[in-house]
Amino acid sequence: MPKTLEGQITMEKTPSYFVTREAPARISAMSRDTKLIVVVRDPVTRAISDFTQTLSKKPDIPSFESLTFRNRTTGLIDTSWSAIQIGIYAKHLDNWLQYFPMGQILFVSGERLISDPAGELGRVQDFLGLKRIITDKHFYFNQTKGFPCLKKAEGSSKPHCLGKTKGRTHPNIDPEVVQRLRDFYRPFNMKFYQMTGHNFGWD
Ligand SMILES: Nc1ncnc2c1ncn2[C@@H]1O[C@H](COP(=O)(O)OS(=O)(=O)O)[C@@H](OP(=O)(O)O)[C@H]1O
């Protein structure tokens, strides 16, 4: 991490920190005051999104439905499949709470980041102790993209949407498989709501 001067905030992001066993100890050893921000979304949609990303790189992989189960007949879910494993948020959070207090972790709702980006970014700015500079007036809904976009990119006067790899169309998944996954995640989601004190409304 680069040196940080008074009045500066240094930020670093990688999607895999939250699910990496060694990450909390390493980050805590670097700086115990680090603030942590995690974007979470409905774990079922997350798994489908994850699969969609893999499919875009490796079109020959088996179907979502067959990867989901260890045994389709008994309905036993393959929890070793990373697309499923990552969505067990309560388990990953337990690992972080061994090193960081809850007050140092902000969970951003992936759903609200789409429906109310300024509201969710307001929470982020508050959490970081920043003035609310980014507000509603910075966003507009782009009909073509189907997502909120920035009215002006940094250092430019042109609007800016996220790239093609963000906001892909998901394949249709067998509704029975989706239901089975909803049932699988429910207790973990409840535990996560309890731990964070926030109902993310995924059920
Ligand atoms: N404004 C805006 N524009 C486009 N996409 C948006 C936006 N806000 C949130 N999202 C959601 O971000 C999802 C992709 O982010 P990831 O978390 O997969 O990114 S990362 O690769 O892990 O960094 C991506 O998931 P998919 O829809 O499954 O592609 C989007 O739903």
Domains observed in the chain: 17-131+182-196 (3.40.50.300)
Average pLDDT over residues 151-178: 95
What is the model's pLDDT at position 47?
Answer: 98
Q: Which residues line ligand 1 (CB under 6 A)?
A: 15, 49, 52, 113-114, 147-148, 162, 166-168
Separation of alpha carbons 72 and 21, rounded Å: 29
Q: Which atom of ligand 1 is nearest to the CA of 161?
A: 3
167 is known to lie in a ligand binding site: yes
Q: Is the pLDDT of residue 1 over 90?
A: no
Please report the atom of ligand 1 found closest to the CA of residue 165: 29
> What type of residue sits at position 40?
V
Measured in Å, residue 35 CA sits from the centre of ligand 1 at 22
Ligand 1, atom nearest to 148 Cα: 1
Entry pTM? 0.95
Under 8 Å between Cβ of 112 and 120: yes
- Please tell me the predicted confidence (pLDDT) of residue 29: 97
- ipTM score assigned to the predicted complex: 0.95
169 is in an annotated binding site: yes
Question: Is 21 known to sit in a ligand binding site?
Answer: no
Please report the pLDDT score of residue 154 as a whole number. Answer: 84
Cα diameter, the chain: 59
pLDDT, average across residues 66-75: 94
